[in-house]
C-alpha cells in the first residue's frame, strides 16, 4: 500500500518561532586539542574522588568550574572533593577575556602523576555552560573510557502556558527553551536522525497527527495526518524510516514509513488490540512496542520487516513506555499498585531488573547516551517533574520541576 | 410517534420498571431486551473499516448525546451503553447529511501514549457498533484524546469512571 507524503501547513510566523529556537540550540564550536588519553577503567558503582583546587577562573569562567563539577558529581563516576589528596586532580583555567571564553584543563592521576587528559576549549561567553559540559564529558571519558552525557540535551513536554508544548534543555535542566508555540496538545517527543530532528504527536489540525521538526531550520513536516489516530512517530537510528501507530485502516496498528512521511508498511495486524510507543533497536533491525493483545498492555518485539511479534514481558500486570538503549537493554515502566516503577530488560536473556526508587510514580523513561542514566517523569502528589536516575546506584536528582507539569523526556544520543 | 420518541418511552418504561425492583442488576435497564430500533446490529470488527485519507472538517456540535462509558483498560461496549449509541444511529438515519466524529477518552491512569491508543479503540468500537446498525462507515471518523481532556477533575473512582468515555460530535 502506498501512502502519500504531505507537508504540514506551517504558517510563516510558526516557522519563524521555531527558527529562533534553532539558533539557540546550536552547540558551541570547540577547538579540541587531541590529548594523550590514558584510559583507566573504573568499576561502575564506585566513585573516584577528584579535586578541583588548581583551576583558575576569571569572569564567566567561574561558571565553567561550577557547572563541570556538578556534571562530574551527576555523572555517577566521580565525587568532587575540596581538599587535596583525591585520586584525580584537575588543573587549568577558564577565562572570559573581552567576549571570548577560553578554557583549558589537565587531569592528573594522583597515584602515577600521569596526565590522562589535556585539552583546551574556546567559545563565546554565552556558551559557557556548553564548554563546561564538554569538559566534564571529556574528563569522564578520559578516566573511565565511557561516554558522558553532560553535553546531551533533553526534549520534554511542559504545560506551564496552559497548553502542552515541547521544550528543550541541557542535561542539568538549565537553558530550558520553549520549542513549540502551538497552543495545542503536543506529546511524546523523540530525537532522531543523529539528533537533527524531533518527532512528536500534536493536535495542530483536528485529530492527532505525527510531525517531524528539523531542529536547525525549524521546518516542520507532517508525517501522517490521516483520519483517526496518527501517533508516536519515532525515527530509525539511520533516520531513513519512521515507526508510528496509525488507525487509518480501522484499528491502531504499528507501521513503518520509508522514508519518514512516505510509503508505510503495516507491521502488526491486531484487530482486537491497540499498539503504542515503538522504540528501535540500536541496529535498527527490530522494534519494541506496547500492545494489549494479551488483555493488558505488555511489551512486544517485532522485526522492522514485520512478521510475528514476540512477547517480551510476562511479569507485571502492565508494562509500558519501552526505550531501547544504546547498549541493547530496554528500560520501561511497570505498574506496581497505583504507581509505576522503572525496570531494565535485557532482551537477549529476558532478565528484568527493577531500577530506581519507589517513593513516587516513575514513568516515560529515556536512556541517556551513557546507557547508565535514565531521564523520566516523576509523578508525586499529582505533580509531574523530570528526574534523572542512575540505574547503577539508584541515585535520583530532579532536572526540571515547577511552573506546571513536565513529562516524557527524551535524550539526544 | 417517531422512532426516537418511541425509544425514549421504552427506555423510561424499562428504567421505571427497574427502579421499582431494586434486586435487579442495573445493567439490565437498557439494551438487553428488545432492540429499541428494531435493528439487530451486525457484528463488525473495528479493523475491517478503513478510515480514509482526510479528517472531517465543518461546524461541530458537541454535547447533543450522552457519553458512552467504559470499564478500565477496556474498549468493550457494555450492555448498559448500547441504547446511547442506538440513539445516535437513529439521529444519523434521520439526518443523512450529518457526519459524526466519535471521541475516545481515558482516565488519568496508565501511560499517556497507550491511553491515546486505548481511546482510539473505544471510539472505533462505537463506530463499529454504529456501522453494525447500518450507518455508513464513511460518515463516521474517530478522534482519540487519551487522558488529555478529562470531564471530571478528581483523582478517584468516580472521576475515573466519568472520564473513560466516548463522546459524539456532529459535523455539519
Q: Are residues A135 and A158 in the same domain?
A: no
Is A17 a domain residue?
A: no
pLDDT in tens, A181-198: 999 999 999 999 999 999
Q: Are residues A160 and A112 in the same domain?
A: no
Chain A environment of B111 (Cβ under 8 Å) = 276-277, 290, 297, 320-321, 333, 363-364
Is A24 a domain residue?
A: no
Contact: A276, B50; criterion CB under 8 Å: no
Mean pLDDT for all residues in chain B: 83
Q: Are residues A69 and A204 in the same domain?
A: no
Q: Measured between alpha carbons, how far is A91 from A99 in angstroms, rounded to an integer?
A: 23
Lowest mean pLDDT among A12-26, A370-384, B65-79: A12-26
| pLDDT for the residue B46 | 76
Chain A environment of B50 (Cβ under 8 Å) = 248-250
Q: Are residues A233 and A357 in the same domain?
A: yes
Cβ(A189)–Cβ(A197) under 8 Å? no
Distance from CA of A252 to the nearest CA of B (A): 6
Residue B45, C-beta contacts closer than 8 angstroms, at least 6 positions apart: A250, A251, A271, A272, B128
| pLDDT for the residue A154 | 98
Taking the Cβ of residue B94 and every Cβ of chain A, the question of whether any pair is shorter than 8 Å is answered with no
Q: Final residue of a domain: which of A88, A117, A144?
A: A144
Which of B62, B113, B141, B167 has the highest number of chain A CBs within 10 A, making it the mutation to test binding with A? Answer: B113
Q: Measured between alpha carbons, how far is A56 from B117 in angstroms, rounded to an integer?
A: 55
pLDDT in tens, B19-61: 333 333 333 333 344 455 667 778 787 777 888 789 998 999 9
Over 80: is that where the pLDDT of A174 sits? yes
| pLDDT for the residue A19 | 41
Contact: B111, A208; criterion CB under 8 Å: no
A111: domain range? Answer: 48-144
Would you list the DSSP string of A135-197?
A: HHHHHHHHHHSS---TT-EEEEEE-TTSSBEEEEEETTS-S-EE----SSBEEEEEEETTTTE
Phi then psi dihedrals of residue A53, to 5 deg: -95, -15
Among candidates B75, B116, B143 on the partner chain, residue whose Cβ is nearest the Cβ of A206: B143
Q: Are residues A139 and A174 in the same domain?
A: no
| pLDDT for the residue A83 | 86
HSE of B105 in the Cβ direction (CA atoms, 13 Å)? 22
All domains in chain B, ordered by first residue:
43-171 (3.30.1330.60)
Residue B3, C-beta contacts closer than 8 angstroms, at least 6 positions apart: B37, B90, B93, B94
Q: Measured between alpha carbons, how far is A290 from A335 in angstroms, rounded to an integer?
A: 14
Q: Measured between alpha carbons, how far is A397 from A162 in angstroms, rounded to an integer?
A: 26
Phi then psi dihedrals of residue A34, to 5 deg: -55, 130
Q: Are residues A218 and A135 in the same domain?
A: no
Distance from CA of A378 to the nearest CA of B (A): 13
Q: Are residues A118 and A262 in the same domain?
A: no
pLDDT (average), residues A292-308: 95
Is A21 a domain residue?
A: no
Over 60: is that where the pLDDT of B10 sits? no
Is this complex scored with an ipTM above 0.90?
no
Contact: B47, A408; criterion CB under 8 Å: no
Q: Are residues A189 and A135 in the same domain?
A: no
Which of A252, A316, A331 has the highest number of chain B CBs within 10 A, making it the mutation to test binding with B? Answer: A252
**Closest alpha carbon within chain A to B144:** A229
pLDDT in tens, A8-48: 333 334 443 554 444 444 433 343 333 333 344 445 668 99
| pLDDT for the residue A44 | 61
Q: Measured between alpha carbons, how far is A55 from A105 in angstroms, rounded to an integer?
A: 8
Chain B environment of A4 (Cβ under 8 Å) = 53
Distance from CA of B7 to the nearest CA of A (A): 30
Cβ(A221)–Cβ(A210) under 8 Å? no
Mean pLDDT for all residues in chain A: 90
Phi then psi dihedrals of residue B97, to 5 deg: -90, -10
Which of B54, B116, B130 has the highest number of chain A CBs within 10 A, making it the mutation to test binding with A? Answer: B116
Contact: A229, B144; criterion CB under 8 Å: yes
Q: In 10 A of CB A126, how many CB atoms?
A: 12
What cell does B167 get? 463522546
Q: Final residue of a domain: which of A144, A161, A178?
A: A144
Distance from CA of A335 to the nearest CA of B (A): 8
Give the pTM.
0.87
Among candidates A245, A271, A321 on the partner chain, residue whose Cβ is nearest the Cβ of B117: A245
A–B interface: beta-carbon pairs under 8 A: 137
Contact: A247, B51; criterion CB under 8 Å: yes
Contact: B47, A232; criterion CB under 8 Å: no
Is A30 a domain residue?
A: no
Over 50: is that where the pLDDT of B18 sits? no
Q: Render the burial of A55-74: b for 16+ CB within 10 Å, e for the rest.
A: bebeebbebbbebbbbbbbb
Q: Measured between alpha carbons, how far is A298 from A218 in angstroms, rounded to an integer?
A: 36
Contact: A206, B55; criterion CB under 8 Å: yes
Over 60: is that where the pLDDT of A208 sits? yes
Q: Final residue of a domain: which of A114, A144, A174?
A: A144
Is A304 a domain residue?
A: yes
B122 vs B49, which has greater pLDDT?
B122
pLDDT in tens, A109-147: 999 999 999 999 999 989 999 999 999 999 999 999 999
- CATH number of the CATH domain containing A234: 2.120.10.30
- CATH number of the CATH domain containing A123: 3.40.50.10070
- DSSP, res B13: H
Structural domain count of chain A: 2
Cβ(A256)–Cβ(A289) under 8 Å? no
What cell does A102 get? 577560553
pLDDT (average), residues A195-216: 95
A209 class by beta-carbon count within 10 Å (0-12 exposed, 13-18 middle, 19+ buried) = buried
| pLDDT for the residue A18 | 52
A298-306 long-range contacts, Cβ below 8 Å, gap at least 24? A299/A330, A299/A332, A299/A345, A301/A347, A302/A254, A302/A267, A302/A268, A304/A236, A304/A241, A304/A243, A304/A256, A304/A267, A304/A280, A306/A265, A306/A266, A306/A267
Q: Are residues A187 and A254 in the same domain?
A: yes
| pLDDT for the residue B47 | 74
Taking the Cβ of residue B116 and every Cβ of chain A, the question of whether any pair is shorter than 8 Å is answered with yes
Is A286 a domain residue?
A: yes
Is A39 a domain residue?
A: no
Q: Are residues A199 and A228 in the same domain?
A: yes
Q: Are residues A395 and A279 in the same domain?
A: yes
| pLDDT for the residue B12 | 40
Q: Are residues A115 and A160 in the same domain?
A: no
What percent of chain A shows pLDDT beyond 70? Answer: 89
H-helix or E-strand spanning residue B9: helix B3-19
Amino acid at each position: 500500500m502506498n501512502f502519500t507524503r504531505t507537508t504540514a501547513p506551517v504558517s510563516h510566523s510558526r516557522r519563524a518561532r521555531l527558527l529562533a529556537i534553532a539558533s539557540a540550540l546550536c552547540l558551541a564550536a570547540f577547538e579540541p586539542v587531541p590529548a594523550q588519553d590514558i584510559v583507566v577503567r573504573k568499576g561502575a558503582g564506585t566513585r573516584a574522588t577528584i579535586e578541583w583546587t588548581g583551576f583558575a577562573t576569571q569572569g564567566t569562567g567561574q561558571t565553567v568550574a561550577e557547572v563541570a563539577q556538578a556534571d562530574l558529581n551527576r555523572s555517577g563516576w566521580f565525587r568532587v572533593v575540596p581538599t587535596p589528596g583525591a585520586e584525580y586532580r584537575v588543573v587549568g583555567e577558564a577565562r572570559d577575556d573581552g567576549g571570548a571564553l577560553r578554557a583549558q584543563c589537565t587531569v592528573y592521576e594522583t597515584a602515577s602523576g600521569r596526565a590522562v587528559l589535556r585539552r583546551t576549549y574556546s567559545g563565546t561567553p554565552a556558551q559557557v555552560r556548553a564548554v563546561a559540559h564538554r569538559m566534564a564529558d571529556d574528563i569522564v571519558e578520559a578516566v573511565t573510557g565511557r561516554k558522558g552525557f553532560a553535553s546531551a540535551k533533553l526534549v520534554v513536554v511542559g504545560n506551564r502556558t496552559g497548553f502542552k508544548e515541547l521544550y528543550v534543555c541541557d542535561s542539568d535542566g538549565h537553558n530550558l527553551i520553549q520549542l513549540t508555540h502551538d497552543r495545542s496538545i503536543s506529546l511524546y517527543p523523540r530525537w532522531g536522525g543523529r539528533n537533527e530532528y524531533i518527532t512528536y504527536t500534536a493536535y495542530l489540525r483536528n485529530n492527532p497527527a505525527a510531525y517531524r521538526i528539523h531542529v536547525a531550520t525549524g521546518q516542520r513536516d507532517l508525517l501522517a495526518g490521516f483520519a483517526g489516530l496518527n501517533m508516536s512517530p519515532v525515527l530509525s537510528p539511520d533516520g531513513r524510516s519512521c515507526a508510528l501507530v496509525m488507525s487509518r485502516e480501522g484499528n491502531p496498528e504499528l507501521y513503518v514509513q520509508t522514508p519518514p512521511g512516505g510509503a508505510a508498511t503495516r507491521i502488526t495486524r491486531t484487530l482486537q488490540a491497540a499498539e503504542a510507543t515503538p522504540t528501535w533497536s540500536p541496529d535498527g533491525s527490530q522494534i519494541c512496542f506496547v500492545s494489549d493483545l494479551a488483555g493488558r498492555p505488555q511489551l512486544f518485539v517485532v522485526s522492522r520487516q514485520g512478521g510475528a511479534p514476540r512477547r517480551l514481558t510476562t511479569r507485571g500486570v502492565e508494562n509500558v513506555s519501552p526505550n531501547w538503549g544504546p547498549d541493547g537493554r530496554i528500560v520501561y515502566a511497570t505498574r506496581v499498585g497505583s504507581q509505576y516503577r522503572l525496570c531494565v530488560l535485557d532482551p537477549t536473556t529476558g532478565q528484568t531488573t527493577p531500577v530506581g526508587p519507589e517513593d513516587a510514580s516513575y514513568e516515560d523513561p529515556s536512556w541517556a547516551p551513557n546507557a547508565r542514566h535514565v531521564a523520566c517523569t516523576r509523578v508525586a502528589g499529582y505533580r509531574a517533574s523530570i528526574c534523572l536516575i542512575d540505574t547503577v546506584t539508584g541515585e535520583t536528582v530532579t532536572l526540571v520541576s515547577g511552573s506546571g507539569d513536565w513529562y516524557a523526556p527524551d535524550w539526544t544520543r | 410517534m417517531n422512532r426516537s420518541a418511541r425509544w425514549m418511552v421504552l427506555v423510561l418504561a424499562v428504567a421505571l420498571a427497574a427502579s421499582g425492583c431494586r434486586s435487579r442488576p442495573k445493567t439490565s435497564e437498557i439494551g438487553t431486551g428488545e432492540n429499541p430500533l428494531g435493528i439487530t446490529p451486525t457484528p463488525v470488527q473495528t479493523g475491517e473499516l478503513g478510515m480514509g485519507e482526510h479528517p472531517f472538517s465543518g461546524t461541530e456540535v458537541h454535547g447533543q448525546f450522552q457519553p458512552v462509558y467504559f470499564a478500565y483498560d477496556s474498549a468493550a461496549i457494555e450492555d448498559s451503553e448500547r441504547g446511547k449509541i442506538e440513539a445516535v444511529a437513529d439521529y444519523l438515519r434521520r439526518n443523512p447529511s450529518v457526519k459524526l466524529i466519535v471521541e475516545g477518552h481515558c482516565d488519568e491512569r496508565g501511560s499517556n501514549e497507550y491511553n491515546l491508543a486505548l481511546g482510539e479503540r473505544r471510539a472505533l468500537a462505537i463506530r463499529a457498533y454504529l456501522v453494525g446498525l447500518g450507518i455508513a462507515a464513511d460518515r463516521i471518523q474517530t478522534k482519540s484524546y487519551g487522558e488529555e481532556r478529562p470531564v471530571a477533575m478528581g483523582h478517584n473512582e468516580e472521576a475515573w469512571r466519568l472520564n473513560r468515555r466516548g463522546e459524539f460530535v456532529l459535523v455539519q
